[in-house]
Amino acid sequence: DTGVSQDPRHKITKRGQNVTFRCDPISEHNRLYWYRQTLGQGPEFLTYFQNEAQLEKSRLLSDRFSAERPKGSFSTLEIQRTEQGDSAMYLCASSSSDPLGGLGAEAFFGQGTRLTVV
């Protein structure tokens, strides 16, 4: 399978614990996105990378959240001191460089990591 892969698929953790999620994008894609989705809502932008550079981080994201993409390939999203409000689906997506000169390339999503904080 050469799609976007996320690990783990499900994570249950106790409040206050740290969790880390991994995303492996499609191999030739240089852009990688992280989103959070709760029931009945669309994906909420968290952050994104072009190669290893983190280009933007949502202002909605607290300092407990950090993401890395050290070699421009896979990425990790860490949540420290988890809270019940962090319970959500965390989606990763990747896309190639824009082939259309500004019209935007398709983003492919992984199946997500469902986090439950108890």
Q: Could you identify the residue written with the tokens 């240089």?
A: 30
- The answer to the question of residue 25 lying near other proteins (CB under 8 A) is no
Nearest approach, Cβ of residue 18 and other proteins (Å)? 25
Residue pair 47/67 in contact (Cβ under 8 Å)? The answer is: yes
Q: Could you identify the residue written with the tokens 């550079």?
A: 53
How many residues make contact with other proteins (CB under 8 A)? 28
Q: Which residues pair with 31 in a beta bridge?
A: 50, 95
Q: Which residue, 114, 106, 117, 118, is CA-closest to 25?
A: 106
Among 13, 20, 50, 80, contact with other proteins (rule: CB under 8 A): 50
Nearest approach, Cβ of residue 40 and other proteins (Å)? 8
Return residues touching other proteins (CB under 8 A). Answer: 31, 33, 35, 40-45, 48, 50, 55-56, 91, 93, 95, 98, 100, 102-107, 109-112
